[in-house]
Every structure is written in structure tokens, then in C-alpha cells.
């Protein structure tokens, strides 16, 4: 169930099951203003009657960014409302079922071992030594989009972009907000956080070398998103054990296969009976279909490593304040396992020397392998221009 059909169902479920909530606190600052293209008026007479004074207070619809919205009220959630949306998903939380984790695990392992017999790869868990096949959400998405793209992306560092810099800075600021509850000087705080992270030093230098006008543009966006975060995100009770940038790993097939993920925010304590953890990913860019699949992968890794799934996974879009919430279900986990198995099969094939399949898609316009890729060229020509705008946008947003 990795497709987008589930999203519609989820939204419906949210709309249908969300209890009436009290009026939102008055937005602080201009950053909570309605996003462009969004009609702030109430969507229906019933809404107006319920909300009082023409202000929608009990129905928040999630709409795609940039889409035309007519007669549809949309405002970002904030404070306790945001927290409640995360906590009260409208679905019964999954019971902890060790059998489910075993089934998911064996499903992936069977697929891996079937494809990996020609070239057994030693790993890190009991019974083996050496380097395992490491699967991350990015690698999984890349190889499923196009094997040739995955191979081309594997080498060399990604070229920094303003959007990438914005995303990394906002991630750091979100972490700061969760940790100390405040952001004083967004750009300075974010740059300081990058400076103490070895992996981000190249990006830091790149930002510092930007022309002043571009850097100013970046700063404006970072400040805008940081202020919106401060205005909307509630302080998380320390007793819920909020933690940021939590690394999750799960070794499969005797350690030959390693699934790994790092989540922006995890809340809740591991439980014995009922799913109790919420996972939140923060995105500074546009909504993309892959984000849901990424979250399902996180949920899968969490389920495999603990034997207990999270009860909810969610993506928070700092640019707009949208919150996409996915209550975790067995079907979603099974779908994530199938997707992972398919990707692992492709990665094993590539590792064994198989010629990468070329499957043109929206990322072709920005793919490093495009100059040698006939199908990619043909795809772009068929689209009428040299670059597939949505795909490039999507890539730059990462």
C-alpha cells in the first residue's frame, strides 16, 4: 500500500473522525497568514454554522500546495490542535504483535536471500563479518525510480542548492525548538548548528560563499519558516520523551542487510502492548509523493527493530504548516515491506553487476546520467522540453 490511494482515505478518515476542537489561538505574527491561493472563508454553510461568525474552527482540510482552492477553508494547525492531530488519529492504535514483525522480517529476508545467493555478502550481525548492504530511504526511492539514476547518484557529493541549505537549516532549527523551546536568531543559530557537524561543513562553506543577495534570500526564507515553527509548534511535554535525529537500524539476514533511518522527531516510550510512538519528519520544501513512502519505511524499520510499530507517522511541512498524518496500519507496513523487498532485489542485482535498468521519470531532467541516457532524452523530448519542471523542482526541494 505504498501508493497515494491511502492518502485520500487517510484524509477522509481525518475529516470524518476528528472531534470538534476549540478555536485556534490567535495567530502570532504575519507568518500564519493564509498561504497564497487559499480561500480563508469557511467552506460550507454547515461549517460556518458550527464555527461561528464565518470562521472555520472545526474542519481543517489538507490541500496540495499551489492548487486552486475554491470555497475550502485551510489554515495551518498550531499549538494543542497540532498535537491532537498527531495523537488522535481517528484509528485504533495497532496492538503490538510480535508475529507481524516476524512476518515482515521474513518477507524481506526471503526476497533478499533469493536474489543474493550468487554473491553472499557478509554482514554485521551474528554469524557474519564484513560490510552489509545498507538500505536507506533515499537509496530505496532512487533505485525504484530508476536503477541507472541510483548508480549515477551513488558517486560524488550532491551539489548544494539554496533549497537544500534551507532544508538543513530548518531541520537544525526544528531540533533547537524541540530541545530548548525557542529560536532567537534563526540564521545564526542554524549556521552554528551546521558548524559543529562535520558532514555539513561543505554546505556551511557553500552558504558562506553565496552572493549577498542570494544569501539574503535564503535568510529571509529560513527566518520565515522558523517564525512559523515557533508560532505553531507546541512545547512537547518532556515526559513524552521527545528526541530528535534518532537513528534506527535493523539488521536482517544475519546482518547481510542493514536497514537504517534517522527520524527528525520521535515521541513516546516503547511499549509492550499497544503502539505508542509517533514519528515526525520535517520538510522545508514542497510536498512530494515519496515523503509518504519514506515515512512508511521509517515505520517498517521501527517495527522490525522493536517488534512494535509506531502508532502514527507524519510529515510536517514548515513552509506551509501542513501536517500529513498517517495512522499506522498493518497494510501500510506490509506495503512498505514489499517496496523494500523490491528495492533490495534491485540493489542486489546492481551489486552483482547487472546492467541498470533505465526507467524514465520526473527526475530525468536533473539526473547526472542524462547525457548517456537515450530513454531519458526520449522521455524529456516527449514531454516537450528539455527539463521536466516538476521533477527538477522536486529534486531541488530535497
Partner 1 sequence: MNCAGTSSGSTPAPGSSAILVSDPNAAVRRLADPVRPPSVGSWCDGSFGVPASPAAVRTRELLYGTHAPERGADEGPTPVGWERVRSRLTSVAMEAAEHLPTGATIEVTPALTRQVRHHPESPLGDGEPFSWKPAFVRRSLGLAVVEACVAGRFRSPADAVGPVLAHALATWEQSGTPAFHWEPWCAGLPRGARVTVMAEAITWATALWSSFEWGGFPAPPRFGWSYDRWTCPAARSIRLKARTEFRVPSTAGASTTAMVAVSGGVPPPDWRAELAFVAVVAGLGSRSRPLPLRVMGLWPEAASHRTLEIDEPALRDAALLVERTLDAVVQTYRPDVPSGEAPELTIARRTS
CA distance 19 to 212: 48
Residue 156 sits in the site that holds partner 1 (CB under 8 A): no
User: Taking the CA of residue 306 as centre, how many other CA atoms within 13 Å lie in the half-sphere pointing to its CB?
Assistant: 21
Q: Which is nearer to partner 1, 241 or 354 (CB)?
A: 241
Which of 125, 217, 227, 393 binds partner 1 (CB under 8 A)? It is 125
- C-alpha–C-alpha distance, residues 319 and 166, integer Å: 10
Residue with cell 560490510: 131
Beta-strand pair 243-252/257-267? antiparallel
CB of residue 332 vs partner 1: minimum separation in angstroms?
18
What stretch of H or E contains 271? none
**Residue 47 touching partner 1 (CB under 8 A):** no
Verify binding: residue 282, partner 1, rule CB under 8 A: no
Give 41 or 306: the residue with its C-beta nearer to partner 1: 306
Using rule CB under 8 A, residue 178 touches partner 1:
yes
Candidates 244, 253, 315, 340; binder of partner 1 (CB under 8 A) is 244
The residue within the footprint of partner 1, chosen from 70, 118, 213, 238 (CB under 8 A), is 238
Q: Does 23 bind partner 1 (CB under 8 A)?
A: no
The binder of partner 1 chosen from 61, 243, 338, 398 (CB under 8 A)? 243
Among 237, 293, 289, 302, which residue's Cα sits nearest to residue 86? 237
Whichever of 91 and 338 has its CB closer to partner 1, that residue is 91
Q: Residue 163 interacts with partner 1 (CB under 8 A)?
A: no
According to CB under 8 A, which one of 2, 35, 167, 190 is a site residue for partner 1?
Answer: 190
For 246, the 3-state DSSP assignment is: strand
Cell of 27: 495567530
User: How far is residue 252 from each of residues 260, 304, 347, 386, measured CA to CA in Å?
Assistant: 11, 9, 15, 42
Give me the 197-236 binding string for partner 1, x by CB under 8 A, dash otherwise. xx-------------------------------------x
- Nearer to partner 1 by Cβ, of 136 and 245: the residue is 245
**Does residue 189 touch partner 1 according to CB under 8 A?**
yes
Radius of gyration of the chain, Cα coordinates, nearest whole angstrom: 22
- Pairing verdict, β 312-317 and 278-283: parallel
Check residue 99 for interaction with partner 1 (CB under 8 A): no
Is the CB of 199 or the CB of 212 nearer to partner 1? 199
Q: Which position has the grid cell 535568510?
A: 219
Instruction: Give least dist CB 208 to partner 1, A.
Output: 15
Among 65, 271, 369, 392, binds partner 1 (CB under 8 A): 271
Planar angle of CA 33, 35, 39, nearest 5 degrees: 95
Using DSSP's 3-state secondary structure scheme, residue 88 falls into: coil
Only one of the segments 8-16, 108-116, 142-150, 305-313 lies at the binding site for partner 1 (rule: CB under 8 A); that segment is 305-313
Phi-psi region of 77 (alpha: psi -120 to 50; beta: other; left: phi over 0): beta
Comparing CB distances to partner 1, the nearer of 30 and 131 is 131
Contacts of 90 (CB under 8 A, 6+ apart): 13, 14, 16, 17, 18, 327
User: Which DSSP string do the residues of 136-199 spell out, in sequence order?
Assistant: -HHHHHHHHH-HHHHHHHHSSPPPP-HHHHHHHHHHHHHHHHHHHS--SSHHHHHHHHHHT-GG
Contact range with partner 1 by CB under 8 A, out of 69-77, 148-156, 213-221, 245-253: 245-253
Q: Which is nearer to partner 1, 4 or 129 (CB)?
A: 129
From 247, 374, 382, 384, residue interacting with partner 1 (rule: CB under 8 A): 247
Question: Among 155, 156, 273, 384, which residue interacts with partner 1 (rule: CB under 8 A)?
Answer: 273
Question: Percentage helix, strand, coil, to 5, in the chain?
Answer: 50, 10, 40
Answer whether 344's CB lies under 8 Å from 350's CB.
no
Stretch near partner 1 under the rule CB under 8 A, chosen from 44-52, 78-86, 111-119, 389-397: 78-86
Compare residues 116 and 290 and give the one whose CB is closer to partner 1.
Answer: 116
Catalog residues that contact partner 1 under the rule CB under 8 A.
19, 21, 80, 83-84, 87-89, 93, 124-130, 172, 175-176, 178-180, 184-185, 188-193, 195-198, 236-251, 255, 258, 267-274, 276-278, 305-306, 308, 311
Amino acid at each position: 500500500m505504498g501508493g497515494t490511494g491511502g492518502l485520500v482515505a487517510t484524509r477522509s478518515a481525518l475529516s470524518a473522525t476528528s472531534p470538534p476542537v476549540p478555536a485556534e489561538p490567535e495567530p502570532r505574527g504575519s507568518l500564519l497568514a493564509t498561504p497564497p491561493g487559499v480561500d480563508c472563508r469557511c467552506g460550507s454553510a454547515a461549517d460556518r454554522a458550527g464555527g461561528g461568525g464565518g470562521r472555520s474552527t472545526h474542519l481543517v482540510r489538507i490541500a496540495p500546495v499551489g492548487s486552486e482552492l475554491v470555497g475550502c477553508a485551510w489554515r495551518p494547525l498550531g499549538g494543542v490542535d497540532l498535537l491532537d492531530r498527531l495523537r488522535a488519529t481517528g484509528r485504533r492504535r495497532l496492538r503490538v504483535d510480535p508475529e507481524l514483525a516476524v512476518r515482515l522480517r521474513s518477507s524481506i529476508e526471503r526476497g533478499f536471500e533469493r536474489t543474493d545467493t550468487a554473491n553472499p555478502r557478509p554482514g554485521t550481525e551474528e554469524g557474519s563479518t564484513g560490510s552489509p548492504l545498507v538500505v536507506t530511504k533515499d537509496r530505496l526511492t532512487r533505485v525504484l525510480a530508476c536503477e541507472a539514476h541510483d548508480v549515477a547518484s551513488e558517486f560524488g557529493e550532491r551539489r548544494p542548492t539554496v533549497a537544500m541549505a534551507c532544508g538543513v537549516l530548518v531541520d537544525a532549527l526544528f531540533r533547537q525548538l524541540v530541545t530548548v523551546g525557542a529560536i532567537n536568531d534563526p540564521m545564526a543559530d542554524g549556521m552554528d548548528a551546521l558548524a559543529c557537524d562535520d558532514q555539513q561543513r561543505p554546505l556551511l562553506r557553500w552558504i558562506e560563499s553565496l552572493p549577498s543577495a542570494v544569501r539574503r534570500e535564503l535568510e529571509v526564507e529560513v527566518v520565515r519558516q522558523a517564525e512559523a515553527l515557533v508560532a505553531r509548534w507546541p512545547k512537547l511535554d518532556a515526559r513524552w520523551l521527545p528526541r530528535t535525529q534518532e537513528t534506527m537500524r535493523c539488521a536482517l539476514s544475519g546482518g547481510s542487510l542493514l536497514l537504517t533511518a534517522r527520524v527528525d522527531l520521535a515521541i513516546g516510550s516503547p511499549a509492550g502492548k499497544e503502539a505508542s510512538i509517533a514519528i515526525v519528519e520535517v520538510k522545508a520544501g514542497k510536498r512530494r509523493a515519496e515523503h509518504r513512502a519514506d515515512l512508511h519505511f521509517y515505520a517498517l524499520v521501527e517495527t522490525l527493530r522493536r517488534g512494535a510499530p509506531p502508532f502514527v507517522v507524519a510529515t510536517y511541512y514548515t513552509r506551509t504548516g501542513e501536517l500529513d498524518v498517517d495512522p499506522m496500519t498493518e497494510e501500510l507496513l506490509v506495503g512498505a515491506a514489499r517496496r523494500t523487498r523490491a528495492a533490495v532485489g534491485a540493489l542486489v542485482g546492481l551489486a552483482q553487476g547487472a546492467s541498470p535498468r533505465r526507467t524514465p521519470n520526473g527526475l530525468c531532467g536533473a539526473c547526472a546520467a542524462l547525457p548517456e541516457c537515450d530513454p531519458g532524452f526520449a522521455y524529456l523530448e516527449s514531454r516537450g522540453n528539455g527539463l521536466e519542471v516538476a521533477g527538477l523542482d522536486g529534486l531541488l526541494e530535497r
